Amino acid sequence: MYAMYFGDYGADYGKTTEVSICSRSGVVSFKIAPTGVTNLSRGAMNKAVRVVAHGFDAIFTSELDQVWPVLKKVGAMAECDSLPKCGGACADSSQFSFVMAFQPVVDIVAGRVYGHEALVRGVNGESASTVLAQVTEANRYAFDQACRVQAIETAARLGLDRRLNINFMPNAVYHPEACLRLTLATARENGFPLNLITFEFTEDERIIDRAHLKGIVETYRQHGFLTALDDFGAGYAGLSLLAEFQPDIIKIDRCLVDGVDSDKPRQAIVSGLLKTAEMLGLSVVAEGVERPEEVATLQEMGIRLFQGFLFARPAIERLIGNDEIAW
């Protein structure tokens, strides 16, 4: 078991509601009646409901031990008699230590920052690879959830009013709707608009179940999120993945951007991608841009959104403004 949810806990206080248990094997949902609520303090009930609504990764295991009897008493754990075998550690985000850096995506035609991509860094500025080295199959879900929370909380604290791009791991999402609850709750609690969030996934991560990924994209779209296919052109799937379902944005990988100003094959490939994107109604971002000549060529081809060291490097827990961009 990885996480539990208690419907919309604010609206459903004291009412029959539905509990979803998100796990590796799928999601089990069942309706419950909060029996015994009258014998509990409001604070105890709120804490119990909050635990279920936010999932194991929102609290420490020691707190779970305290709240579990309350959950059982109100009927929430009618079909679960004990903590999972891992004691909740499989979804304990406290095992990770990292901060967020933000790199701007710029609209070169409008001359403004379009949005910021949240990127993990170590607490002392260590690279993303150092942080990602901590991720295993066992804690993948917890890491994915922790990244979402950290990105939203930090962006809200910094006053971000543009798009926020959050990377997620498709293979860590066991059920699109249930495993999205913590994201929704975090955005709500921090006052961050859902319609400013873009979820990026990469084709570098081998995606076994494409139907599942399509379901994730469709679910996220229903909640007002945009989705972006990152590192396009450098991964496992290529155009075959795009043929099965369409995100809102494709981000062309640096492997196609590097030297495009003087490379006819790259120009031909990018031109074909832009035509495909136009026919499918997709936006395009050129990422990994490092030279003005690359920007000039790609802009002439029709790209207006760029991301790369040429404009700005990622800044740890700081948003780079329009006046800091190397236009």
Cα 200 off chain centre by: 7
pTM to 2 decimals? 0.75
Can you say how many angstroms the Cα of residue 1 is from the centroid of all Cα atoms in its chain? 21
Cβ burial of 284 (10 Å; 0-12, 13-18, 19+) is buried
The residues, any chain, with a CB within 8 Å of residue 301's CB and separated by 6 or more, are 267, 270, 271, 274
Question: For position 187, what pLDDT does the model report?
Answer: 95
**pLDDT on residue 321:** 96
pLDDT of residue 8: 36
User: Which domains does the chain show, CATH number per domain?
Assistant: 3-88 (no CATH), 96-324 (3.20.20.450)
Q: What is the pLDDT of residue 245?
A: 84
Q: How far apart are CA 12 and CA 8, in angstroms?
A: 6
Residue 262, Cβ neighbours under 10 Å: how many? 10
* Tens digits of pLDDT across the chain (327 residues): 333 333 333 334 444 444 444 433 334 444 444 443 333 344 444 444 444 444 433 333 334 444 445 444 444 433 333 334 444 444 556 678 999 999 999 999 999 999 999 999 999 999 999 999 988 888 888 899 899 999 999 999 999 999 999 998 887 776 777 678 889 999 999 999 999 999 998 865 565 577 888 888 999 999 999 999 998 987 665 788 888 889 999 999 999 999 999 999 999 999 999 999 999 999 999 999 999 999 999 999 999 999 999 999 999 999 999 999 988
CA atoms within 13 A on the CB side of 191: 6
pLDDT (0 to 100) of residue 92: 58
53-68: b (≥16 Cβ within 10 Å) or e: bbbbbbbeeeebeebb
Query: Quick one: tokens of 95?
Result: 């095992």
What's the confidence (pLDDT) of residue 207? Answer: 58
Burial letters for 86-107: b for 16+ Cβ neighbours within 10 Å, e otherwise? eebbbbbbeebebbbbbbbbbb
Whether the CB-CB separation of 172 and 144 falls below 8 Å is answered with yes
